[in-house]
Amino acid sequence: MAGGEGKRFWPLSSREKPKQFLTLTGDKSLIRETVDRVLPLIPIERIFVVTVERYRDETLRHIPELPEENLVLEPEGKNTAPCIAYGTLKIEKKAGEAVVVVLPADHAVGDDQGFRDSIKFAAQTASVRLADGKFPIITLGVTPTSPETGYGYIKAGKDVVESSERFKAFNVKRFSEKPDLETALGFLKEGGYYWNSGVFVWKTSSILSEFAEIIPEWHTKFDALSKELYRPSEKSAAADFYGSIKAGSIDKLILEHSSHTAVVPVSFPWSDVGSWKALDEYLRDGEDENVTRGDVISIGSSGCLAIGGERVIAIVGLKDIVVVDSGDGILVLDKERSQDVRLVTEELEKRLKDS
Amino acid sequence: MAGGEGKRFWPLSSREKPKQFLTLTGDKSLIRETVDRVLPLIPIERIFVVTVERYRDETLRHIPELPEENLVLEPEGKNTAPCIAYGTLKIEKKAGEAVVVVLPADHAVGDDQGFRDSIKFAAQTASVRLADGKFPIITLGVTPTSPETGYGYIKAGKDVVESSERFKAFNVKRFSEKPDLETALGFLKEGGYYWNSGVFVWKTSSILSEFAEIIPEWHTKFDALSKELYRPSEKSAAADFYGSIKAGSIDKLILEHSSHTAVVPVSFPWSDVGSWKALDEYLRDGEDENVTRGDVISIGSSGCLAIGGERVIAIVGLKDIVVVDSGDGILVLDKERSQDVRLVTEELEKRLKDS
């Protein structure tokens, strides 16, 4: 899933270059890291990238070896549910029944091998029948390290669906939306709660059954779309499908209503990298005074995130400030105001319209 | 006087481009503003610019109409006393006895006409005999608007040397160095204290007499230097003179020891623009949320000084922060730490040495 328009990383990101194409956590773009993370397990021929048409070329620049027929182009971004439906139909048409691992292209993972081990376990579990004969709809759940209010939480039930030496899959008792701080603290105290990582594993037939059961008005349209896939008429069929459905996340539209959900708890370092503050937290070593990239001179500053461009950045006497220099502009931000970066991009868009 | 090496305005200033050449307070560089401020009163043929050799070309770029023989090139910067001695000898050699107005090239003045009126009065007063038959050594004293700790103060005496409808010249009771805050508050409460503006007015013969009386070991060298002025041998004579004297300010070496000093109180807006904080204070209108130059988007920020370069600067949730973008780098600074900019330039110089 690589269709996000992320405006929260201005001035590095832009409408033309959203977060998945940025190099934020390592030496490579997030989308490239996502692909490289699974390549030892899944050959490129079996990797499908769903994005919107606008990002076609940029996506291929980052994954030049991607077979072009594996590039799934949405007519418009409508959140994860349509993206997953379309991607699943493409995979099903090409491969028939298959286990699918759904990955956001713009998250950070701190342990690639641990990540692969966990999705390998989840992929095996996806083929283990539940009591009612169906197969599980699996989400990787990250063991919380802090009472984050920016993540959805999954409460694990008591039933063990499958277990190995290292992993267990539990039935899901409840999906909870982003909690307030008090609620999040309660979750951590109670235990058995996991962050919803947005990484899903299931059989094609399992998730299509869920669509059929929970939003049948979508499912009735799948055949019409599936018939045209990998043909010149695919684009207009996809446009018809997207034009006839509402936007929505897979969590809200399917998972929260499904009775076959399971969670595989994992404990690798993970972040959805949802803001400059989240990036700072992910990159920060406990002992770091500041997190810096590029040429940064710090004089009496702490808690800062400074990302340089072509020139030196000097930060003097600052606390908890984000400084980012890019070709598009310079951002100086109180870290706690990271959400307000969108106000900057809104202002810039307004200017473009007015000019 | 245009020889300053000011490192306090990095990244706008550099060793190659010190403060006098920067455009900080208006549309023109400080040195150009200084010249334009007095041009209605003093033709360019009678303006002398003293600077160090390194800044010769840059000075002429800013004042292309300056007669080249009026450009006085110091072999090295040794503060204001040698600068004034050398400049005075040049003027005396060319014009004989004259009234000299000494101006720092890197200060800001908010009322050009008021400034000219005050130096006109001071120039007249410079030719009014004191009780002992000597002529006054005049400093313009700015009426304090706040208990600044960054300025020297002049305590006016009771004797009126000269007065007009608008101006008065008093004898000086005492020069005080930069005070601490408590002392400065005491000065303001007591009254009769003025900021030392660094603008001096006197007859050539008056200041040369003071040199003769107070530092005769300099004065004995004046003849040797004066003999070579405006000749090819001037450069080596100046090098001999500068090589044989210590550095020092005119205030410390002469004024504090002179018994002929006078002060002309003035009340135009003035600043020595000694730091980013001082610039912010000088430019700030009481109602300004932020002081900005160039393309700046402010979201919930106040008390900031933001100076843009070629790209937009966004400041989000900041208080009392200085942000400056230039070709040389980006500075983000707590306004109260303005003095620490020199630590940045020291670090940059150290790097240059190490590389």
The 10s digit of each residue's pLDDT in B173-193 is: 999 999 999 999 999 999 999
Residue-level pLDDT at B5: 84
Do the Cβ atoms of A318 and B334 come within 8 Å?
yes
Alpha helix segments (H runs only) across A43-128: 56-62, 80-95, 112-125
| CA of residue B158 relative to chain centroid, distance | 27
Chain B: closest CA distance from residue A18 (Å): 19
Whole-angstrom Cα distance, residue B63 to residue B49? 10
What integer is the mean pLDDT of B27-31? 96
Beta strands in B23-182 (DSSP E): 49-52, 71-74, 99-102, 108-109, 137-142, 153-163, 168-176
Q: Which letter does DSSP use for residue B20 in this model?
A: G
Cis peptide before B11 (omega within 30 of 0): yes
Q: What is the pLDDT of residues A91-105, one digit of tens each?
A: 999 999 999 999 999
Look up residue B296 and give its amino acid: V
Judged against a pLDDT cut of 80, whether residue B287 lies above it is answered with no
Beta strands in chain B (DSSP E): 49-52, 71-74, 99-102, 108-109, 137-142, 153-163, 168-176, 193-203, 261-266, 270-271, 291-293, 296-299, 305-307, 312-316, 321-326, 329-334
Assess B231–A contact: CB distance below 8 Å, yes or no: no
Whole-angstrom Cα distance, residue A297 to residue A63? 35
Nearest partner of B316 among A277, A249, A136, judged by Cα = A277
| Residue whose pair of structure tokens reads 């931000």 in the numeric block | A333
Residue-level pLDDT at A296: 97
User: How would residue A302 be classed by pLDDT, with cut points 50, 70 and 90?
Assistant: very high
Residues of B in contact with A325 (CB under 8 A): 325, 330
Average pLDDT, chain B: 96
Whole-angstrom Cα distance, residue B148 to residue B180? 9
Q: What is the pLDDT of residues B123-167, one digit of tens each?
A: 999 999 999 999 999 999 999 999 999 999 999 999 999 999 999
Do the Cβ atoms of A313 and B329 come within 8 Å?
yes
Chain B: closest CA distance from residue A293 (Å): 14
B135 contact partners, CB below 8 Å, separation of at least 6: B126, B127, B128, B129, B202, B203, B205, B206, B260
Judged against a pLDDT cut of 90, whether residue B36 lies above it is answered with yes
For B320, the closest chain A residue by CA position comes to A318
Do the Cβ atoms of B297 and A348 come within 8 Å?
yes
Residues of B in contact with A316 (CB under 8 A): 331-334, 337, 340-341, 343-344
Q: What is the pLDDT of residues A199-220, one digit of tens each?
A: 999 999 999 999 999 999 999 9
Do the Cβ atoms of A330 and B333 come within 8 Å?
no
Assess A339–B contact: CB distance below 8 Å, yes or no: no
Q: What is the pLDDT of residues A40-50, one digit of tens each?
A: 999 999 999 99
* Percentage of residues of chain B with pLDDT beyond 90: 93
Assess A313–B contact: CB distance below 8 Å, yes or no: yes
Assess B317–A contact: CB distance below 8 Å, yes or no: yes
Q: What is the pLDDT of residues A94-148, one digit of tens each?
A: 999 999 999 999 999 999 999 999 999 999 999 999 999 999 999 999 999 999 9
Nearest partner of B258 among B202, B220, B217, judged by Cα = B202
Q: Output A355 or A260, whichever has higher pLDDT.
A: A260
DSSP H or E segment with residue A321: strand A321-326
Residue-level pLDDT at B4: 87
Helix %, strand %, coil % of chain A (to 5)? 40, 25, 35
For B332, the closest chain A residue by CA position comes to A315
Residue-level pLDDT at A344: 96
Judged against a pLDDT cut of 80, whether residue A248 lies above it is answered with yes
Residues of B in contact with A340 (CB under 8 A): 299-300, 316-317
> Which CATH superfamily groups domain A19-271?
Spore Coat Polysaccharide Biosynthesis Protein SpsA; Chain A (3.90.550.10)
Taking CB atoms within 8 Å and a gap of at least 24, the contacts of A63-71 are: A63/A31, A63/A32, A63/A35, A66/A35, A69/A94, A69/A230, A70/A44, A70/A45
Q: How many A/B residue pairs have CB atoms within 8 Å? A: 118
Alpha helix segments (H runs only) across chain A: 30-38, 56-62, 80-95, 112-125, 181-190, 204-214, 216-228, 234-244, 250-253, 276-283, 341-354
Q: What is the pLDDT of residues B61-106, one digit of tens each?
A: 999 999 999 999 999 999 999 999 999 999 999 999 999 999 999 9
Do the Cβ atoms of B168 and B124 come closer than 8 Å?
A: no
Residue boundaries of the structural domains of chain A: 19-271, 276-354
Q: What angle do CA B25, B30, B35 make, to 5 degrees?
A: 125
Q: Which letter does DSSP use for residue B230 in this model?
A: T
What integer is the mean pLDDT of B271-288? 91
Query: Is B113 strand, coil or helix?
Result: helix
Do the Cβ atoms of B336 and A317 come within 8 Å?
yes
Residue-level pLDDT at B15: 84
What integer is the mean pLDDT of A151-172? 96
Do the Cβ atoms of B316 and A348 come within 8 Å?
no
Average pLDDT, chain A: 96
Whole-angstrom Cα distance, residue A197 to residue B259? 81
Whole-angstrom Cα distance, residue A259 to residue B14? 68
Beta-carbon count within 10 A of B39 CB:
14
| Residue whose pair of structure tokens reads 């937290």 in the numeric block | A281
The ipTM is 0.88
User: How would residue B341 be classed by pLDDT, with cut points 50, 70 and 90?
Assistant: very high
Q: Output A16 or A242, whichever has higher pLDDT.
A: A242
What integer is the mean pLDDT of A236-253? 97
Do the Cβ atoms of B297 and A347 come within 8 Å?
yes
Residues of B in contact with A311 (CB under 8 A): 327-330
User: How would residue A281 be classed by pLDDT, with cut points 50, 70 and 90?
Assistant: very high
Judged against a pLDDT cut of 80, whether residue B6 lies above it is answered with no
Judged against a pLDDT cut of 80, whether residue B260 lies above it is answered with yes
Put simply, the chain B residues between 318 and 337 with a CB less than 8 A from any chain A CB are 318, 321, 323, 325, 327-334, 336-337
Assess B216–A contact: CB distance below 8 Å, yes or no: no
DSSP bridge pairs for A169: A162
Nearest partner of A172 among A259, A301, A85, judged by Cα = A259
Please state the φ and ψ torsions of residue A199, each to the nearest 5 degrees. Answer: -100, 120
Residue A340 has its nearest CB partner, among B300, B312, B327, at: B300
Residue-level pLDDT at A258: 97
Residue A300 has its nearest CB partner, among B329, B332, B337, at: B337
Q: What is the pLDDT of residues A67-86, one digit of tens each?
A: 999 999 999 999 999 999 99
Do the Cβ atoms of B330 and A311 come within 8 Å?
yes
User: How would residue A322 be classed by pLDDT, with cut points 50, 70 and 90?
Assistant: very high
Do the Cβ atoms of B341 and A316 come within 8 Å?
yes
What integer is the mean pLDDT of A325-336? 94
Q: How does B124-136 read in b/e, with b if 16+ C-beta sit within 10 Å?
A: ebbeeebeeebbb
Helix %, strand %, coil % of chain B (to 5)? 40, 25, 35
Query: Is A293 strand, coil or helix?
Result: strand
Nearest partner of A85 among A94, A72, A97, judged by Cα = A72
User: How would residue A354 be classed by pLDDT, with cut points 50, 70 and 90?
Assistant: confident
For A306, the closest chain B residue by CA position comes to B332
Do the Cβ atoms of B347 and A11 come within 8 Å?
no
